[in-house]
Amino acid sequence: MEHDPELGHKEPGQAANEKDAAAVVSDDNSIESVPAATGSGLLFRLRQFEAQMDKKLGIESEAIVRKQEEDKKPVPWLEQLTMALLWASGTMNTSCFATGFLGAEFGLSLKQSILVTIFASIMGGAITGYCATFGAATGLRQISVSRYSFGWWPNKLIALLNSIQQMGWAAVSCITGGLALTAVSDGHVSLILGIVILAVVALAISFVGLNAILVYERYAWIIFFVIFMIIFGETGRFADNTSPPAATGTTLSGAILSLLAIVYGSSASWCTMVSDYYVHYPANVSRVKVFLMTTFGIAIPTSIGMVAGCVVASGFKNKPEWSDAYDQGLGYLIQDMLYPRGFAKFLLTLLVLSGINTNVISIYSAAISFQQLARPFAAIPRFIWTIFCFLCILALALGGREQLNAYLQNFLSLLGYWCTSYAIILFQEHFIFRKGNFANYDLENWNNPAKLPLGIGASVAFGLGIVAWVMGMDETWFVGPLAKTIGENGGDVANEFTFVVTALTYLPARYLELKHFGR
């Protein structure tokens, strides 16, 4: 393979040379060299600046390049725990806590809400856990991995969807964290300012790169685990564990399916970027270990945060003043339900940081996805894309700050739909067409369009999956014809229908693609 100059392999921290900084590559795989000796052009200066920062701070100037096995170092057992702890920090937050209130709003009992939450968290976590097994084995970021299924051109849509998804998820975290910051300041810090503060701090950590993220996230979860245990301890006695569900019959079935879709989408949404954080592990790391640590590293912390929300929401019947506080904002509720007030303010201040944990991961992966939209985009330094994502997140969070619950319901459900199609396509490609063997992947040509699949089979299956989403989705702005048939308020069956349609169509479509085009 003829490697592109700006994508050539570099060891971590190694500065890019002037030729790297001056190369601009077009999508037709041709190379146009800009004279480096003149030192002219904005791109040249930005690449030089990034190279200097990489040398001094290790900011990952070549983040999307495949990590070669000879450049990987043995990972001690403590660092291997990061496969679980990273996601514990990213999921045990105020967003998950807020999602836990949806079960009661749908008319479910406390027991039903808890069972659905735990089951859906494990299902979504397993989707992400499977995709995680590709990172160490290939040395590629998640969007690069899916080129072996979706091909060069269709995979650009996946990169774009992933970027949008990560920025949307970060926006949700900014809103919930901003609400907490407003409450702890007794309204002196506006929601807008709170959102900006959270986004700026996350930007600073993501700016540095993978090493800083892994160190930060390895320990950040401890604080929030303790806080949620305190929430359980102080609010559990007010939980209503006896009242029957408000919804009955097929309406109850629809409510369960809709909550299942939302919680599943929350956990499955990590699957399109999970390998980004595993590329530094040796290829011989146990795939079973990767799967289990990732699955439960997501499912358990997500369940802790959401179940806490379920418990508090059920307590509204016994503590009506909590409902009034919740109407003002999530942060005001947390202050009212915990005691003494000074201690509640302290915990709320710490909870504000939980939004940063999610944002750090999301900003980093969104920037990497943007770099893979087109070769010229790869030549733009990662730190520029990081700043761009930060600005987009601010816009989304500020625009959606007044409608948090509707935002959560619609956005989290949509996440699960396309992640289901994505994961089943990767699964079938790996186990059916590549015999479950990474030796059947031409990893040296990961960046060569001529050596990758055309992506026809994946495009057909993914496109029909979109039809399945529309048929089965239950959103505030649209209820699909299948969803309408389930109860008074509908029931979301988009994930289940998408799974079946994608699985049944990818197999023959990919077979025909291989038969006629040979790749």
Quote the pLDDT of residue 17: 40
Q: Cβ distance 372 to 64 under 8 Å?
A: yes
Quick one: residue 365, left, alpha or beta (phi over 0 = left, psi -120 to 50 = alpha)? alpha
H helices, E strands: number in the chain: 24, 2
Q: Does residue 16 lie in a domain region?
A: no
Q: What angle do CA 44, 50, 56 make, to 5 degrees?
A: 140
Quote the pLDDT of residue 13: 40
CATH number for 125: 1.10.4160.10
End-to-end CA distance of the chain: 16
Q: Does the pLDDT at position 199 exceed 80?
A: yes
Q: Cβ distance 95 to 302 under 8 Å?
A: no
Q: For 199-242, what is the HEC assignment? A: HHHHHHHHHHCHHHHHHHHHHHHHHHHHHHHHHHHHHHHHCCCC
Q: Does residue 389 lie in a domain region?
A: yes
Q: Does the pLDDT at position 3 exceed 50?
A: no
Neighbours of 38 (CB within 10 A): 9
Q: Does residue 112 lie in a domain region?
A: yes
Residues 6+ apart with CB under 8 A from 459: 150, 151, 154
CA distance 417 to 260: 12
- The mean per-residue pLDDT over the stretch 471-476 comes to 89
Q: Cβ distance 78 to 21 under 8 Å?
A: no
Secondary structure (3-state) at 104: helix
Domain count, the chain: 1
Task: Give 61 or 191, the one with higher predicted confidence.
Answer: 191
Quote the pLDDT of residue 28: 39
Q: For 420-462, what is the HEC assignment? A: HHHHHHHHHHHHHHCCCCHHHCCHHHCCCHHHCCCCHHHHHHH
Q: How does pLDDT run across 77-130, given as a tens digit for each residue?
A: 888 899 999 999 889 988 899 899 999 999 999 999 999 999 999 999 999 999
Q: How does pLDDT run across 458-471, given as a tens digit for each residue?
A: 999 999 999 999 99
Q: What six digits make up the tokens of 441?
A: 């992947």
- Mean confidence (pLDDT) of the chain: 86
Quote the pLDDT of residue 39: 52
Q: Is the omega angle on the peptide bond into residue 453 within 30 degrees of 0, that is, cis?
A: no
Cross-strand partners of 33: 23
Task: Give 20 or 419, the one with higher predicted confidence.
Answer: 419
Quote the pLDDT of residue 62: 66
Q: What six digits make up the tokens of 422?
A: 């994505």
Q: Does residue 82 lie in a domain region?
A: yes
Confidence of residue 401 (pLDDT cuts 50, 70, 90): confident
CA distance 106 to 256: 8
Q: At 500, which helix (H) or strand (E)? A: helix 494-517
Q: Cβ distance 238 to 390 under 8 Å?
A: no
Q: Does residue 63 lie in a domain region?
A: no
Cross-strand partners of 25: 31
The model's pTM is 0.87
- The mean per-residue pLDDT over the stretch 366-379 comes to 89
Q: Does residue 357 lie in a domain region?
A: yes
Q: Cβ distance 244 to 109 under 8 Å?
A: yes
Q: Does the pLDDT at position 364 exceed 90?
A: no
Q: Quick one: which of 347, 501, 361, 354 has its CA closest to 418? A: 501
- Burial level of 74, CB count in 10 A (0-12/13-18/19+)? exposed
Backbone angles phi, psi at 478, to 5 degrees: -165, 135
Q: Is the dihedral of CA 299, 301, 306, 308 positive or negative?
A: positive
Q: How does pLDDT run across 314-349, given as a tens digit for each residue?
A: 999 999 999 999 988 888 899 899 988 889 889 888
Q: Does residue 19 lie in a domain region?
A: no
Quote the pLDDT of residue 121: 97
CA distance 167 to 173: 10
Domain carrying residue 182: 75-405
Q: Does residue 259 lie in a domain region?
A: yes
Confidence of residue 43 (pLDDT cuts 50, 70, 90): confident
Q: How does pLDDT run across 271-294, given as a tens digit for each residue?
A: 999 999 999 999 999 999 999 999
CA distance 238 to 331: 19
